[in-house]
Amino acid sequence: METQTSPKLGNYVLTREAGRGGMSTVYEAVDTRIGRTVALKVLAVPQYLSAGQREALVARIKREGRAVARMSHPNIVEIYDVGDQDGLHFLVMEFLDGVTLRARLDTGPLSPDETAEVLDQVAAGLDAVHAQGVVHRDIKPSNVMLLPGRRVKLMDFGVARQADDTTMTQAGSMVGSPAYMAPEQVRGGAATPASDLWALGVLVYEMLAGKPPFVGDNIPSVLYQVAHKAPEPLHDVSPAIQKVVQRALEKDPGRRYGTARELADAFRTAVAPVESAGPRRPRRALAGVKGGAVTAAAPLAPAGARTFSVARKRWPVAAVLLLLSTLAAVPMFLRSNGDNRQQVTKRGTPSPEPPRRDPVEKKPARAQRTVSTPPPVKPAP
């Protein structure tokens, strides 16, 4: 709610600070013209730059904001406006109510099928970005938002650039997060769609392993590994999945996948045989996402985000079999106490989700329906 002391930028009243990073501060705000809640990102222009460099940087950010604003895609955060006031430059984006992939990974790695579900949607958004001639340059877990309804959005285009713009970064400089930078960027080369695809490969590796492929005590150590070392093989994944990730992390850009969709499809194909090999019950990466009031492009996850986890309690198979044996032993009790049997069935269901959301969850119910309850025999007079 707007008050006399509420700070205001342009047509936007700032209601609270939602996150802060090295390059920006994100606020929850309200557009006073239409009453819409938005995420307003105030950019921090480095003071060590010359006046000309700062002016060029601001012009670039505005240009990129307008480029992303022209995109309309379900897997890309919407940008509504760009502006400046009293020397402050800002982007206005949709307010997203979810949790970041970074917060989710803080609870543990994802299974291959969960990874495929997230990758499918990030790939769709990234290919749409590339189709507009824009390089994202900062693909990482904190820039992927998991939303209710099993949706995923790619966000934070604060360092994105037009693919054909060679004036935005000085020669030899690097923009992005070191652990997700491509080898060609580490060596001083320009960022391209291929470097975004490398970062997407790092994202896939981290979803499976719980950590990036290259870690170190300092930035130079990480950058050296990115440029010269092969990533440690993933554990507990199939050779087919390992092969897909290995190609995504090729040092030579020409040997990587050509598009994000190509990578996502190859990964989905590699996962499919694993899923059909047995009655493995997959965890659902997005089913448990609750609204967490995390704003678009927030550089930091909110304090409560670490509590988010998709892992759900399951009954061991032995416990289910024991339950079925018990039911078979007391048919008369079940017949005369239908409400109680229904209560047992509900407790035996591994997930609170409706069966239509996860067909596997119907197994216990089907097993119980096979229990035969013979009718009582009336004694002969």
The whole-number mean pLDDT for each consecutive block of 10 residues of the chain, a chain of 381 residues, reads: 70 92 86 96 84 84 80 92 88 92 96 97 96 90 94 77 41 64 94 96 98 95 96 95 98 97 98 61 51 42 35 40 43 41 39 44 43 47 48
What pLDDT score does 302 carry?
Answer: 37
* Gap between the Cα atoms of 44 and 152, Å rounded: 27
CA dist., res. 143 & res. 128, Å (int): 16
The pTM score is 0.69
Collect contacts of 71-74 with beta carbons under 8 A, ≥24 apart: 71/128, 71/129, 71/132, 73/124, 73/125, 73/128, 74/124, 74/151, 74/153
pLDDT the model gives residue 183: 97
The pLDDT assigned to 51 comes to 86
Place of tokens 């965890």: 283
Order of strands across the sheet that contains 144-147:
99-100, 144-147, 151-154
- Angle made by CA atoms 236, 238, 240, in degrees to the nearest 5: 150
Active site residue ranges: 138
Contact between residue 178 and residue 219 where contact means Cβ atoms under 8 Å apart:
yes
Tell me which residue of 253, 281, 250 sits closest to 359, measured CA to CA. Answer: 281
pLDDT, residue 117, reads 97
pLDDT at 215: 94
Catalogue all structural domains in the chain, each as residue range(s) with its CATH number: 8-95 (3.30.200.20), 98-162+178-272 (1.10.510.10)
Q: From CA 275, how far away is CA 112, in angstroms rounded?
A: 9
Contacts of 96 (CB under 8 A, 6+ apart): 39, 77, 145, 147, 153, 155, 294, 295, 296
Token digits for 70?
């022209």
pLDDT of residue 289: 57
Instruction: Please provide the distance, in angstroms rounded to a whole number, between the alpha carbons at the two ends of the chain.
Output: 81
| CA 56 remoteness from chain centre | 32
Q: Tokens representing 328?
A: 């078979």
Between CA 80 and CA 75 the distance in angstroms is 16
- Tokens (6 digits) for 169: 């970064």
Q: What gap in Å lies between CA 72 and CA 125, rounded to an integer?
A: 10
CA 167 to chain CA centroid, Å, is: 31
Task: Determine the pLDDT at residue 276.
Answer: 52
Query: What pLDDT score does 275 carry?
Result: 52
| Residues whose CB falls within 8 Å of the CB of residue 133, separated by 6 or more in sequence, listed in order | 67, 162, 163, 164
